[in-house]
Amino acid sequence: MLFVIQDLQFSIGGLLLEGYPAFGARCLCAALLLAAGLVLRRWLLRWLFPHLAQFHLPSHAMGILVGSFARPAAQFAALTGLYLALASLPWGAAAATRAFLLKLYRFAVILLLSWGLYGASELTGLLLSGAREEVRANKTLRSVLVKVYKVMVVILGGLMAAQELGLPVTGIITSAGLVGLTISLAAQDTASNLFAGLMILIERPFQIGDWVLVGDVEGSVEDITFRSTKIRALDNSLYILTNSDVCAATINNGTQRTKRLYRFTLGVEYGATRAQLEKLMEDLRAMLAASPHTYEDSVIVEVSGFGASSIDLLVSAYLRTPDANEFYRMRNDLNLDLMDIVRADGLDFAFPSTSVYIKEGAGHTNT
């Protein structure tokens, strides 16, 4: 025989059953409890949680929790019915069996709770609700927070489940702490880069596609990871900078400019007269102010000094573009127009030269 019925009783109200009638009553009770759990599971999935999702809940966090715990709560109802059904069967009367079933039930409840919390990873987005718009819109940062949250839920759920099964959780945590300390000491640079990468993602001094100058490296940002930042230079070479070095350096984000500065020193030959210089400066101002490339109120053309071989004119204006390639094209057009004006005014560009003056001697040799 598979089992023996001995001292088996079943009582409800004033009715007391023994033997096979008690066994049948217990099996019937177990079936009813299991059916009740399944019916409750179906009701939760088909009616309660769908209706809760349509209500205006007090907070966004509650809405996230309702959505994430819908299936775990339904499975909890079925699990509870199964546990009570098994505990109602004849072999569930033994103390050892009841303790074993309770341990399995609590273990399963921990897993269901972890399942619900794991699915509520959108709660991490609430941590950024008070941050700036650019931080809230940072998809990489949100993805990292979600992954960290899920890992923490898995670790905590695993530790609680292990403790329920009687495993030495304290020893596991102590060993993990020692291993973590050893790894952290061996990977300080990596940890520093990870933290710096997180700060770059939060502060966003630049983003992919921006033209930046980081220290002495200039180019377009191609990729940003938690360890490094990749910059493509103008000569097409790729620089890979650790994030700790990026955070320690001065960052110049050229893409965030709304305009670019066109400025240089124009050297004119010393043979130019004052009238010629004044006319040249007037013509240059008029050309720059009329150009569609420049902001008229930013034009400056003035005598800035006297060099070793030239009279120096400061030529300055802001151009209407932040783009580097467009700036080079505009600068080329202005330089050619400037050259035409200098030649049209009868002047020429100075170049480094040396003049030697020989003074005739005043004395003569007598013979």
Q: CA geometry: angle at 122 spanning 119 and 125, to 5°?
A: 160
The helix/strand/coil state of 302 is strand
Phi, psi (rounded to 5 degrees) for 263: -150, 140
Q: Which residue type is seen at 81?
A: G
From residue 66, how far is each of 142, 143, 262 by CA, in Å?
21, 22, 59
Sheet holding 211-214, edge to edge: 238-242, 228-233, 217-224, 211-214, 251-253
In a 10 Å sphere around its CB, with 0-12 CB exposed, 13-18 middle and 19+ buried, how is residue 107 labelled?
middle
pLDDT, residue 282, reads 93
pLDDT, residue 10, reads 56
**Tokens 């009570």, located at residue:** 84
* Nearest one of 148, 128, 261 to 204, comparing CA atoms: 128
pLDDT, residue 193, reads 67
pLDDT, residue 283, reads 92
| Reported pTM | 0.49
What distance in Å separates the CA atoms of residue 117 and residue 121, rounded to the nearest whole number? 7
**Which positions of the chain have pLDDT values less than 70?**
1-21, 91-94, 127-141, 169-194, 202, 353-357, 360-367
**Tokens 């030269």, located at residue:** 353
Question: How confident is the model over 141-151, as pLDDT tens digits?
Answer: 677 778 888 88
pLDDT, residue 309, reads 85
pLDDT, residue 42, reads 92
3-state SS track over 44-102:
HHHHHHHHHHHCCCCCHHHHHHHHHCHHHHHHHHHHHHHHHHHHHCHHHHCHHHHHHHH
From residue 67, how far is each of 119, 121, 144, 321 by CA, in Å?
8, 11, 22, 49
Phi/psi-derived region of residue 13, left when phi > 0, alpha when psi is between -120 and 50, beta in every other case: left
Mention every residue, 6+ apart, whose C-beta is less than 8 A from residue 224: 140, 197, 200, 201, 207, 208, 230
Distance of alpha carbon 51 from its chain centroid, rounded?
35
From residue 191, how far is each of 181, 243, 246 by CA, in Å?
12, 10, 15
The helix/strand/coil state of 312 is strand
What distance in Å separates the CA atoms of residue 254 and residue 324, rounded to the nearest whole number? 9
pLDDT, residue 86, reads 83
Question: How confident is the model over 23-62, as pLDDT tens digits?
Answer: 777 778 888 888 998 999 999 888 888 888 787 777 777 8
pLDDT, residue 4, reads 41
Question: How confident is the model over 260-292, as pLDDT tens digits?
Answer: 899 999 999 888 899 999 999 999 999 999 999
Long-range (24+ apart) CB contacts under 8 A made by 320-328 are 320/259, 320/292, 320/293, 320/294, 320/295, 321/259, 321/260, 321/293, 322/254, 322/255, 322/256, 322/257, 322/258, 322/259, 322/260, 324/211, 324/254, 324/260, 327/260, 327/262
What distance in Å separates the CA atoms of residue 192 and residue 45, rounded to the nearest whole number? 47
